[in-house]
């Protein structure tokens, strides 16, 4: 591989910010928004409750002046996990919200108990009938909330419900992912009173109302990490323009350990790997700023090409090794035992027809195809399009042999 690719805006920052836009009785301009199917799905949900949504290139305009419904459409809600953010956001505008249990990638259990426990502390009551959840509140009341696990979504939902609550909310044990800080920056631009984002404790003082605002979405650290790992696995060099290096320390550290040369420039990351790839030994996925679970499947492919045995432990989700079945059909010889995957290394991958079953596993299959002999056809491309604007376009820019 040899080329340059500009990194798209962050999916996991854009989705909660889109949910947050319903808190604003007016226009929000969200710039550098990735044109991916999860964003399209969220836009459909916003339109279904009365928002007006328009695109201008990569700028998304959401007018939430007249939110008039709060019963969310099953068709879209069950397609993706981040629809659950609308619970916290809509409760800032409506006394009752009804939605189906959210969908999302099949990467393990996706309960929302931590979300509901946090909302309950803020004065929200909920009832569940089969797969439908109704949440209601008289008045949102600030509270102290200690998260049992730093859940990204639950932290975001609590912030969304607290910004217009009466009084002060103190969140402790919060997630520290950059997407939390992005959401808080958007809300503060609109007049919210928040401090401590990016640390484990966030303090929110409720305000009466939020005002029209605009925000530029940061680059996607997981998309950048995907392409960085593809160069690691397949060899060559690339410039990842606008890659958020300051959010990618863990993945850059592993890439350096495996033999890549990386340079962080002002406007991106340069990576070159033309020497032997060396096993990083054991890697464990962790909450931010540790090695991200969303890059676990791509890293498996790089480990399969490295000299020496490797082990990858998935500590965040309890079912994120599904993709190994398809990778083993390409001769990767991964052995999964519980939360650990073991690889022998220096595998000669053989191209074949494989099926993506979720977003990041799908991206890993494309990377495996770039390392394999012969042609690999990755089916179910729609899973990949949930989070990558155009993975074929991007790999073509990196002069990798990928096609539609």
Q: Are 149 and 122 in contact (CB under 8 A)?
A: no
User: Using CB under 6 A, which residues numbered 76 to 95 contact ligand EPZ?
Assistant: 81-82
Binding mask 100-119 for ligand EPZ (x = CB under 6 A): -----x--xxxxxxxx----
Stretch 238-277: interaction string toward ligand EPZ, x if CB under 6 A: ----------------------------------------
Bridge partners of 124, per DSSP, are 137
- CA-nearest of 122, 224, 118, 126 to 175 is 118
Binding letters toward ligand EPZ, positions 271-300, x by CB under 6 A = ----------------------xx------
CA distances from 84 to 72, 123, 237, 295 (A): 10, 18, 39, 23
User: 351-373 burial, b if ≥16 CB within 10 A, otherwise e?
Assistant: bbebbbbbbbbbbbbbbbbbbbe
Helix (H) or strand (E) holding 118: helix 113-121
Q: Which is nearer to ligand EPZ, 279 or 285 (CB)?
A: 285
DSSP string, 48-117: HTT-EEEEETTEEEEE-TT----B--HHHHTT-GGGGHHHHHHTTT-SEEEEEPP---SSS----HHHHH
Considering 41, 43, 51, 105, which one is annotated as catalytic?
105
Selected from 5, 7, 14, 15, the binder of ligand EPZ by CB under 6 A is: 15
Residue 71 known to be catalytic: no
Residue with the shortest CB distance to ligand EPZ = 153
Residues in binding contact with ligand EPZ, number by CB under 6 A: 29
Closer residue to ligand EPZ in complex, CB, 110/381: 110
Candidates 145-153, 241-249, 299-307, 338-346; binding stretch for ligand EPZ (CB under 6 A): 145-153
Could you tell me which residues come within 8 angstroms of residue 205 by beta carbon, excluding any fewer than 6 positions away?
Answer: 142, 167, 168, 193
**Using CB under 6 A, which of 12, 32, 279, 304 touches ligand EPZ?**
12
Give the interface with ligand EPZ as residue ranges (CB under 6 A).
Answer: 11-12, 15, 81-82, 105, 108-115, 149, 151-154, 175, 179, 222, 293-294, 316-317, 359-360, 387
Catalytic site positions: 105
């Amino acid at each position: 591989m040899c080329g340059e690719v500009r990194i798209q805006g962050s999916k996991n920052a854009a989705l909660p910010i889109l949910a947050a836009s319903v808190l604003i009785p007016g226009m929000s301009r969200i710039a550098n928004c990735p044109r991916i199917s999860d964003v399209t799905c969220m836009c459909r949900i916003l339109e279904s409750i009365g928002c007006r949504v328009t695109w201008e290139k990569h700028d998304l305009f959401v007018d939430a002046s007249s939110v008039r419904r709060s019963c969310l459409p099953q068709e879209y809600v069950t397609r993706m996990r981040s629809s659950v953010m609308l619970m916290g956001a809509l409760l800032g505008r409506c006394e009752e919200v009804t939605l189906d249990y959210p969908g999302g990638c099949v990467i393990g259990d996706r309960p929302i108990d931590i979300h509901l426990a946090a909302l309950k502390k803020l004065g929200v009551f909920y009832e569940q009938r089969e797969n439908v959840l109704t949440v209601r509140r008289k008045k949102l009341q600030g509270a102290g909330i200690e998260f049992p696990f730093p859940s990204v979504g639950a932290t975001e939902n609590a912030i969304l419900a607290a910004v217009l609550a009466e009084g002060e909310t103190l969140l402790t044990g919060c997630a520290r992912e950059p997407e939390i800080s992005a959401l808080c920056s958007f809300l503060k631009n609109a007049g919210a009173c928040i401090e401590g984002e990016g640390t484990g404790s966030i303090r929110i003082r409720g305000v009466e109302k939020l005002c029209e605002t605009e925000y530029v979405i940061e680059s996607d650290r997981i998309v950048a990490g995907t392409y960085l790992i593809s160069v690691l696995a397949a060899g060559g060099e690339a410039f990842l323009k606008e890659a958020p290096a300051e959010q990618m320390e863990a993945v850059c550290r592993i890439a350096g350990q495996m033999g890549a040369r990386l340079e962080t420039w002002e406007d991106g990351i340069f990576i070159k790997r033309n020497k032997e790839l060396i096993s990083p030994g054991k890697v464990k996925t962790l909450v931010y700023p540790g090695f991200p679970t969303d890059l676990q499947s791509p890293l498996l492919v790089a480990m399969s090409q490295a000299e020496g045995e490797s082990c990858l432990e998935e500590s965040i989700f309890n079912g994120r090794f599904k993709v190994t079945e398809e990778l083993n059909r390409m001769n990767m010889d991964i052995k999964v035992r519980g939360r650990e995957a073991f690889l022998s290394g220096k595998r000669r991958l053989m191209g074949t027809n494989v099926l993506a079953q979720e977003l990041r596993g799908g991206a890993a299959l494309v990377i495996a195809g770039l390392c394999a002999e012969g042609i690999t056809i990755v089916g179910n491309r729609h899973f990949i399009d949930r989070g990558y604007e155009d993975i074929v376009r991007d790999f073509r820019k990196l002069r990798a042999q990928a096609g539609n």
